[in-house]
A and B are shown apart, each in its own frame.
Chain A
Amino acid sequence: EAGVAQSPRYKIIEKRQSVAFWCNPISGHATLYWYQQILGQGPKLLIQFQNNGVVDDSQLPKDRFSAERLKGVDSTLKIQPAKLEDSAVYLCASSPGTGSYEQYFGPGTRLTVT
């Protein structure tokens, strides 16, 4: 079974530029999560989708971050414009959904904002 795929693996941009990350969850997983992990900290949940609907986006900085999950499968996370403090690893995870909440994580995208 293929795992969670993310791309790109690394990205370097200048502040005020925009960037997008892509995630392909495990086939059949209804729930998809985006996390931000700043160096030395635990991951912080940014947004949680159930199929193509948003379940929780309370910690998503909506003035600059946006996410979508078209057709309930792949998802993209966008930052526009980026700030220095957005430098982090962005993790995507998926879980089967109702009744089974263990999450399977992708390798992450390491973003550096200069």
Chain B
Amino acid sequence: AQSVTQLDSHVSVSEGTPVLLRCNYSSSYSPSLFWYVQHPNKGLQLLLKYTSAATLVKGINGFEAEFKKSETSFHLTKPSAHMSDAAEYFCVVSDSEGQNFVFGPGTRLSVLP
């Protein structure tokens, strides 16, 4: 069985400061990992994915995440937050065959002016 823990339900940062959204996973397989963003009243959008290639993954809008197998973590970071980054972020785990998708509970990111 697979599971995802997002350690913070809500993160608040000031515009221009770094963003860190934490994700830990549990998997019986070699996992694939994803981060999705959900803006209010908009559909889920893929930010980035890890599928057993480079452990540091770069995504859209300046986001990146690092896969750390020893820590079973896949934290999402961005050097400088923008007001448009305010949204709900979901960490997702699946097996390497594209099955058994499990979403985390989400982290709401607020960006203060």
Contact = CB atoms under 8 A, between A and B. Distances in A.
Contacts of B102: 45
Given A33-B101, A42-B103, A43-B90, A102 B43 contact: no
B1 to A, nearest CB: 11
B43 A108 contact: yes
B99 A42 contact: no
A56 B100 contact: yes
> Which among B34, B44, B94, B105 has the highest number of chain A CB atoms within 10 Å?
B44
Contacts of B112: none
Interface in B2-56: 4, 32, 34, 36, 42-46, 49, 51
A105 B43 contact: yes
A51 interface: no
A35 B44 CA distance: 12
A102 to B, nearest CB: 5
Contacts of B34: 102-103
Contacts of B98: 31, 95, 97-98, 101
20 contacts: A3-B43, A35-B103, A42-B4, A42-B103, A42-B104, A42-B106, A43-B44, A45-B102, A48-B101, A93-B44, A95-B98, A97-B98, A98-B98, A101-B32, A101-B51, A102-B34, A103-B44, A104-B46, A105-B36, A105-B44
